[in-house]
Structure 1
Amino acid sequence: MPIDLLSALFVFCVVSTITPGPNNLMVMASGANFGYRRTLPHMAGIAVGFAVMTLLVGVGLIQVFTLYPVTHQILTVASVGYLLWLAWKIANAAPPEGKPDTEARPLTALQAALFQWVNPKAWTMAISAITIYAADNSLLAIGIVAGVFGLVCIPCVSIWTVMGQQLRRVLTNPTRLRAFNWTMAALLVASLIPLI
């Protein structure tokens, strides 16, 4: 891959990964509720899961949508349903006032990796990157696209996690934390508007 194309790919990956979307809203909420360290598996799951998804999209999964258009509709319905469920979980992540937090847990690496498959922004990013930067469909180009996404993902989602963690100082009151979680949940639901 020529250096100018690789540079353009790097910029594309950073911009598309660092801008608001379901992953970033979720790690921000996780950072606020659980801290940076407990959110590390979630962040790793995003990076690995998205890189693997991009690789599989590039090696032929994208053809399934062309051959069977109904699969795109099924994925859309599954994505909306799962994101609504996650929004509910985020909204209710804060413990009730006066009660200890015994049930809330951050997403595991596997859960975060699997989430990429129902994340509409992840699908858009993967398909766009493969179409633009691996147009020749060579395994090397597809691998480079997936690898660059995997590399830039951790620093980008880390920024959102740190922002959430810094908000913990303000969110010491359970009422404020609940309001923050409901706001993050509402933003996650709002991210579905282009999909619907």
Structure 2
Amino acid sequence: MSHELFLSLVAFAFVSAMTPGPNNTMLLASGVNFGFFRTRAHILGVVIGFTVLLLAIALGVGRLLVLVPGLYSVLRIISVAYLLWLAWRIGTAGATDPIASEDARPMTFLEAALFQWVNPKGWMVCLSIAANYITPDNLWADIATLATVITIVSTVSASSWAFFGTSLRPLLKDERSMRIFNVVMAVALVASLWPIVKEMI
């Protein structure tokens, strides 16, 4: 991979990772509700899950979607349903410390990692990266470079959003403020689905 292409990859990965989307919205909400320490598994799940998704697409899963377009439609339906459930879960969360109900907990590593497979933004980013930054002549070297860059950038992004959420905790001490924040985050998560729903209708 040339120096110019590498810089382009880093810039694309950074912008894609840092801009608002389902992952970042949930990490922000988790940071507010549970703090950075308890959100670590969620962060790790996003980083590892997204890197694995990228590697799978780079190695041929993306080609399967091209050959069987119906699979992508199924993926989008599952994605919308799951994100709506997550939005409801965030919107109905209580105040921080103590946790308002037994059901309120941070997303686990496995949940966060598996979520990447139904995350529409994640699929679009991975497909774009695989299409633009992998060449047949340097397949394995390019894939190794992509995996390294994505892992580093995802770690920085996920940690930053969770830390930002944690920094807001002192401003959201009472039940009313926390509920308003959670509803806003739930609405933001639902709003992120509009581009997908628009294509489906």
TM-score interval for Structure 1 and Structure 2 normalised by the shorter chain = over 0.9
Residue 191 of structure 2 corresponds to which residue in structure 1?
190
Whether the 8 Å contact between 1:42 and 1:109 is mirrored in structure 2 is: yes
Cα distance in structure 2, aligned partners of 1:152 and 1:95: 31
Amino acid at match of 1:84: L
Alpha-carbon deviation of 1:63? 1.1
More displaced stretch, 14-23 vs 98-107: 98-107
1:69-111 deviation digits (Å, cap 9, x = unpaired):
1001000100000100111111112159x98443311001111
Relative to structure 1, the CA distance from residue 2 to residue 99 in structure 2 (aligned partners, 3 Å threshold; closer, same or farther) is closer
Letter in structure 2 aligned against 1:11: A
**Residues 30-49 of structure 1 mapped to structure 2, 5 A cutoff:** 30-49=30-49
Query: What's the CA shift string for 1:107-135, capped at 9, x where partnerless?
Result: 01111000000111100110011111114
Amino acid at match of 2:134: A
**1:172 and 2:179 equivalent?**
no
* Kept in 2: contact 1:59–1:139 (CA 8 A): no
State the number of aligned residues: 195
The one-letter code sitting in structure 1 at the alignment partner of 2:72 is H
Rounded Cα–Cα distance in structure 2 between residues aligned with 1:49 and 1:26: 15
Change (3 A) 1:99 1:159: closer
What residue is the counterpart of 1:117 in the other structure?
Answer: 117
2:194 counterpart SS class: coil
Report how far residue 139 of structure 1 moved. Answer: 2.6
1:20 maps to amino acid: P
| TM-score calculated relative to the size of structure 1 | 0.94
* Alignment partner, residue 128 of structure 1: 128
1:139 matched residue in structure 2: 140
CA distance in 1, matches of 2:109, 2:37: 13
The alpha-carbon deviation at position 58 of structure 1 amounts to: 0.6
Q: Which residue of 2 aligns with 1:69?
A: 69
User: 3-state SS of the aligned residue for 1:143?
Assistant: helix
Give the structure with the larger helix fraction.
2
The code of the aligned residue for 2:150 comes to F
Report deviation, 1:162: 1.4
| Ranges in structure 1 where 5+ consecutive residues have no aligned partner | none
Deviation, structure 1 residue 7: 1.4
Q: How far is the alpha carbon of 1:182 from its aligned partner?
A: 0.7
Q: Deviations over 1:157-182 (max 9, x none)?
A: 11111111111111101111011001
Q: Matched residue of 1:106: which SS? A: coil
Deviation at 1:140, TM superposition (A): 2.4
Q: Which amino acid aligns with 1:52?
A: V
Q: Which amino acid aligns with 1:104?
A: A
Residues in 1 aligned to 2:174 and 2:92: alpha-carbon distance in whole angstroms: 15
RMSD: 1.7
1:20-71 per-residue CA deviation (whole Å, 9 max, x = no partner) reads 0000000000000000010011001100000000000010001111111100
Indicate the SS of the match to 1:47.
helix
The answer to whether the 8 A contact 1:95-1:101 is kept is no
> How far apart are the structure 2 equivalents of 1:73 and 1:127?
16
Letter in 2 for 1:164: G
